[in-house]
């Protein structure tokens, strides 16, 4: 029985590392919520794997067997590992909103930036700084 690692919507880019035997598939997940997803396999890429694919389904068949399906094409290969990275920054910052900046600090920086925009005031700031 196979385990689905990821479903990626089109387009999916395929990148081969020149110095080590890895191949990466990068795209946007077809599942909700859509997020940037990269799957990196610790194995050399198949010779007929194109640089760009349409929608892709990546499955783990066994401990070291993987299948990549795109449209009517299927690639099956052996890899020591598969690493799935999902970009979760949007969900993280929704769960933990940034701390509001104190009014004093906002006023200070607004004043400094206004003074820095004026040539004479900028010279004064440089003298005060030392």
pLDDT in tens, 17-58: 877 888 999 999 998 788 999 999 998 877 788 889 999 999
Cα 57 from Cα 106, distance rounded (Å)? 48
Enter the pTM of the model.
Answer: 0.68
Closest CA to 53 of 85, 77, 30, 84: 30
DSSP E strand boundaries for the chain: 3-16, 23-29, 36-41, 52-53, 56-60, 65-70, 73-78, 82-86
Rounded to an integer, what distance in angstroms lies between the CA atom of residue 9 and that of residue 32? 11
pLDDT digits (tens, 9 = 90+) for 59-82: 999 988 999 999 889 998 899 989
> Can you give the pLDDT at residue 115?
82
Per-residue pLDDT, 7: 94
User: Average pLDDT, stretch 105-123?
Assistant: 88
């Amino acid at each position: 029985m196979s385990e689905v690692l990821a479903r990626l919507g089109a387009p999916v880019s395929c990148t081969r590392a020149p110095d080590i035997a890895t191949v990466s598939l990068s795209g946007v997940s077809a599942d909700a919520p859509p997020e940037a997803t990269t799957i990196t396999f610790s194995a050399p890429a198949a010779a007929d794997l194109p640089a760009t694919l349409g929608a892709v389904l990546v499955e783990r068949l066994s401990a070291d067997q993987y299948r990549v399906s795109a449209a009517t094409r299927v690639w099956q290969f052996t890899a020591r590992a598969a690493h799935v990275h999902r970009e979760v920054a949007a969900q993280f910052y929704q769960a933990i909103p940034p701390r509001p900046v104190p009014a004093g600090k906002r006023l200070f920086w607004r004043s400094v930036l206004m003074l820095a925009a004026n040539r004479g005031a900028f010279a004064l700031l440089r003298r005060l700084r030392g």
